[in-house]
Structure 1
Amino acid sequence: MSSGVFNVALDSTIGALQIGSSFAIFLFGIVSLQAYLYYDAFPEDSWKYKVLVAAVWILELGHTVGISYEVYHASITLYGKPNELVTFPALGAVISLSGAITLLVQGYFSLRLYRVLPKPYKYIGVFCFLLSAIRCVGSIYLTFPAATARNVSQYNKDWRWLVTSLLVVGTAIDIIIAGSMSWYLAKQRGKGFLRVSTVIDRLIGFTIRSGLLTGVSAIVLLICFLTMPDNLVWLALYTFLAKLYSNSLYSALNARQSLREEVSNSFPSMDRYSRPKNPRRDGNASSRFGPHAISIEMKTTTETTPDDSISKAFPDKYGMTP
């Protein structure tokens, strides 16, 4: 590095950025599809869920626009001028949007932990939410220096400690959430019938996969950021990290349909108390069962602890607001 210019290897700068952005746009398509499927399958969900899904999608749209602008700036505006590829004016906005998306997703799963785990373990959810909020503040703090940086490599050197801290904290939150939920479900697994254990195994697998994907991606991003500061491989990975979080949230919401069907198949007696499989045809569950629908279900499930553990892990699945 000298005089604010570095020797550019196009395959690890513009090429890496274009590959990362292409994958990010592909993931945004999946995010949009998942959002559509959610609104189509769960029109009777709480307005809080609907606002959450809409907010994440709008943030993802802005995130995708910012990434697309950076690719256009690097490959079109600076075409034939690779040595000027040292600034990324939209990077600050992308960092802030990514932090907000991560906060919403991790906040959702943290709230689930708080409502599922018994005391004193339920406060793990509060701890995770506070860490995620601090992480979001750190991301917003990085916005201005990222947008005004004259050299991305110098930005890496000046703010490496904070970027590293944010990535480590985000990974730790994912591991804590996935580990805590898996621990709780595993404790319930041996308390019931084989069919209940099969459903719980599915929940454990889904929980681990959701946290593992984002956690491993953040670790790979951190390694690239620390070991390859003079190219854009780390930025290419960063372009789609937030979309992995969004997909994990939408997958968790949309997976309720298949999980509800599996629970109903394992316990046929619960069919008449679960929400209708086709709410548009059968109407709203609360209007069918009245204000005491939840209390009726609780009476039928308190006889077996595993049923209650499943409804706690996915309380909205039975028409109860988490």
Structure 2
Amino acid sequence: MNVTNPSPPTALQNALPPFNAYIMIGPVVLGALVNACLFGGLIVQIYIYYANFPNDHRMMKLTVAAILASQIAHVICVSATLWKAAVSGYGNPLTLLVFPQGADAAILFTAITGALVESSFVFRLWKLSKTLALPLVSLALCLLAQSIALVMTVKAFAMTNLVTFEIDENRLITLSLTSRLVCELTLTLSMVWYLRKQRSSTFSRTTAMIDRWVLWTLETGLITSLVVAFIMSFFLAMKQNYIWVSIYANLATVNANSLLASLNGRLILRSVPNTSFNMNTLSSSAGGRSGKTESVVINVTQTVGSVPGVFKYDEGEA
């Protein structure tokens, strides 16, 4: 259990830098505010998703619901951390030498959200590549990162001093962040590569559509990778403050937003004129439902030309 008013040894206390609210309390406040904004954006994206894709597979809907539940718990933990740092611990800087219990629990919900999001992207990569090598590598990296995060959660609850925790668990934290970064980059770059590969074998009318998906995949995937890179940089360079912690507090919400942005990105395809596609290709992928205007709309949101059904999440998807 965390100690409410830790009293570090005199030698360690003398070795600590002077208390600076700008790099201790400031990052916590700023990180909580940014997380609240990102959580609001996530709520909007979830509403858009359920309103526009009612025919998505039940597992995808349950995944989004699980992400929502995890993020509600996560934002509560971040808010509790803000309260501890700026209100209940006001006037006693030594309380910041231990992670508040809300921050400890936030690590757990970050791991849960990461597992849900990255496993969804692994499934999409498998559907796109039709191979097992890269999806299995990505899944292994995902499980490694989340397993280490669970171990970090247990150790964080047992922590008695932030400085010694960061020193003792330096390798563990670095390994967790590195595996997550490699996983994010592997998923993003692999999907981009397979999409570009499809581009060379599709009709010229659909190449612009694939280009838009390549750009969208890069935007949503690299943002999360960039956040992880920032966390690693600040952790390795500035262990004795809460800057890296405040960025880490937003990792789960950024991760969740990237998945919802990817799912809702299918709405972009609906704005493309129907005359831009080959009707025979569309009708064949729709299972014989040609001749109806609805069949074009459904296929536009799922698969175009010879692009695999990687963005397809209807009731018939396993």
Give the structure-1-normalised TM-score: 0.85
Seen in structure 2, the aligned counterparts of structure 1 residues 69 and 175 have a Cα distance that, compared at 3 Å, is same
Q: Deviations over 1:194-246 (max 9, x none)?
A: 33110010011111111110111101110101110111100010110111110
Match of 2:206 in 1: 196
Query: Is the contact made by 1:91 and 1:143 (CA closer than 8 Å) also made in structure 2?
Result: no
1:139-288 → structure 2 map (5 Å cutoff): 139-262=149-272, 264-267=274-277, 269=279, 273=283
Match of 1:321 in 2: 317
Query: Is the contact made by 2:67 and 2:256 (CA closer than 8 Å) also made in structure 1?
Result: yes
Q: In structure 2, give the amino acid aligned to 1:253.
A: L
Partner SS, residue 142 of structure 1: helix
Match of 1:287 in 2: none
Supply the distance in 2 between the matched residues of 1:175 and 1:109 (Cα, whole angstroms): 12
1:115 to 2:127 alignment:
yes
Partner SS, residue 100 of structure 1: helix
How far did residue 42 of structure 1 move?
1.4
How far did residue 293 of structure 1 move?
7.8
Identity level (%) = 26
Q: Deviations over 1:240-283 (max 9, x none)?
A: 0111110011111111122244374521737985xxxxxxxxxx
Query: Is the contact made by 1:112 and 1:313 (CA closer than 8 Å) also made in structure 2?
Result: yes
1:33 to 2:44 alignment:
yes
Match of 1:98 in 2: 110
Q: In structure 2, give the amino acid aligned to 1:141.
A: V
Seen in structure 2, the aligned counterparts of structure 1 residues 101 and 38 have a Cα distance that, compared at 3 Å, is same
Supply the distance in 2 between the matched residues of 1:147 and 1:103 (Cα, whole angstroms): 21
Query: Is the contact made by 1:138 and 1:162 (CA closer than 8 Å) also made in structure 2?
Result: yes
* Equivalent residue pairs, number: 296
Q: CA RMSD in A?
A: 2.5
Supply the distance in 2 between the matched residues of 1:112 and 1:174 (Cα, whole angstroms): 13
Seen in structure 2, the aligned counterparts of structure 1 residues 127 and 297 have a Cα distance that, compared at 3 Å, is farther
1:307 to 2:305 alignment:
yes
Give the structure-2-normalised TM-score: 0.86
Query: Is the contact made by 2:277 and 2:305 (CA closer than 8 Å) also made in structure 1?
Result: no
Query: Is the contact made by 1:175 and 1:212 (CA closer than 8 Å) also made in structure 2?
Result: yes
Q: In structure 2, give the amino acid aligned to 1:234.
A: W
Supply the distance in 1 between the matched residues of 2:177 and 2:239 (Cα, whole angstroms): 15
Q: Deviations over 1:125-171 (max 9, x none)?
A: 12211221122111111112112211112111111111111111111
